[in-house]
Amino acid sequence: MRYLLASVFLLLSNFWLYDASSLVAASRTPPGFVTTQGTSFELDGKPFAFVGANSYWLPLLTSKEDVRATFREMQAAGIRVLRTWGFNAINGSELAGALETDLTYYQVWNSSEWVLNDGPQGLERLDFVIQAAAEFDIKVIVAFTNNWRVPGAELYINWIAGAGVTHDVFFSDPRIIASYQRYVKTIVNRYKNSPTIFAWELMNEARCLGDLPSGPNCVPGTELLTKWYKQQSDFVRRLDPHHLITTGGEGHFFWRNATGEFATDYNFNGQAGEDFDADLTLDNIDFATYHLYPQVWYSNLDFPGSNFSLEQWGLDWITLHAESGARAGKPVILEEFGMQGIENKTSIYPSWVNHAIETKTAIMPWQFGVLGLKEHGGNHLFKYEDRLINGASPNDGLAYYKNQTQLWNIFTHAASLLSSHSK
């Protein structure tokens, strides 16, 4: 579907030069851009199955050598796709501290109009990440904002809508949408010709609530998030006819049971705002993402002696999303998943990873770790708890590093298996 819009523009300007069948052909996509074919990704007409890496901290690194070292490690592990944040916003009150600590920042909020930083401590750092990714033959998924904490949606809300509103005004206030789109346009126009971009991601983990609660306009059935996804994906498509676009959602379903009532489970009843099946059918949503953290989501069911199986729940979650992707005829990515505890990781990840491969789902564990970073002598506080310690990249308990051989090998084996599927 995403070729259709471009075709219409071409038809309007050059209608007598082309016949409709050649316009619709996917061959108009520039070389090196990722495309979709049914439930699969393709690169230059060949299947593109992959293990990816999540690393939000790469653009926070201040040393180009450390950025390159991270990509070198990814490439050696068979990683083909990186997902990172295309946003790093600060409050004006944080500016002095940011300058002092060399914190990467792209937007400064001091009024209802944020100010762009496209200099060496700003977007030039993201430029370098994308340039270095290309050197190591890795493609990049770039997210435009975050549902959580600073520096995401709640800075837009704070500065534009002010106090006393609910989180979901982010998805409905026209002033906020215009401000978000001004940022999206900046990022998309900067990289829209680059084959290194795998896809644009509208928001990390959009929900009706954030740190602020949700309001009555964002409840099951209002479809506020679905409407927002449609509006924003159409907007991005008008800016960029060729790159893939995705939501960045966690994969919540909006399902009624046989008696027409909503499921009680938050992951299935639409309360978070997502409607995975509907979002995936939007014309300019090219593939879907979902996340998997049952240890956190079902902590009340997950205790010694309970029957709840984290492993089985994850397998079912993978199946349900693959089925939804098949119904829509679009690919899905298991875009984040994680378990606390090394034994938990090594015992459960293999079955999740195998099942994802069986169901043609691309895999992106949360989160990639690297050792031996050298900037600031290997110890560097970026912001909040995000820090390098003795050269190790930030660890929220979910990072995996090469020195954890058994764990590391789960993903390197999966990567080599998938790469053999990609030829």
Task: Out of 401, 412, 419, 422, point to the residue binding ligand NAG (CB under 6 A).
Answer: 401
Decide: is 326 part of the binding site for ligand NAG (CB under 6 A): no
Strands, E, within 86-146: which ranges? 89-91, 107-109, 115-116, 139-143
Decide: is 379 part of the binding site for ligand NAG (CB under 6 A): no
* Residue number with CB closer to ligand NAG (12 or 163): 163
* Residue number with CB closer to ligand NAG (38 or 162): 162
Of the residues 205, 250, 274, 335, only one is catalytic, namely 205
From CA 41, how far away is CA 48, in angstroms rounded?
5
Q: How far is the CB of 268 from ligand NAG (least distance, A)?
A: 10
What is the Cβ-side half-sphere exposure of residue 277, based on CA atoms within 13 angstroms?
13
From CA 416, how far away is CA 374, in angstroms rounded?
29
Decide: is 406 part of the binding site for ligand NAG (CB under 6 A): no
Task: Out of 31, 100, 164, 258, point to the residue binding ligand NAG (CB under 6 A).
Answer: 258
- Concerning whether 205 is annotated as a catalytic residue, the answer is yes
Q: How far is the CB of 421 from ligand NAG (least distance, A)?
A: 31
Query: Taking a C-beta distance cutoff of 8 angstroms, is the pair 365, 338 a contact?
Result: yes
CB atoms under 10 Å from CB of 125, counted, come to 22
For residue 384 the two structure tokens come to 């909040």
Decide: is 341 part of the binding site for ligand NAG (CB under 6 A): yes
The side-by-side arrangement of strands in the sheet containing 362-363 is 288-292, 332-337, 362-363
Task: Out of 23, 82, 108, 218, point to the residue binding ligand NAG (CB under 6 A).
Answer: 108
Decide: is 390 part of the binding site for ligand NAG (CB under 6 A): yes
Tell me the three state secondary structure of residue 375. Answer: helix
Spell out the alpha helix ranges (H) of 380-422: 405-421
Decide: is 150 part of the binding site for ligand NAG (CB under 6 A): yes
From CA 95, how far away is CA 342, in angstroms rounded?
38
- Binders of ligand NAG among residues 61 to 80 (CB under 6 A) are none
Q: How long is the chain?
A: 423
- Concerning whether 336 is annotated as a catalytic residue, the answer is yes
The residues assigned a catalytic role are 205, 336
Q: Which residues bind ligand NAG (CB under 6 A)?
A: 91-93, 95, 108, 110, 115, 150, 154-155, 158, 257-259, 261, 264, 295, 302, 306-307, 340-341, 344, 371, 390, 392, 401, 403-404
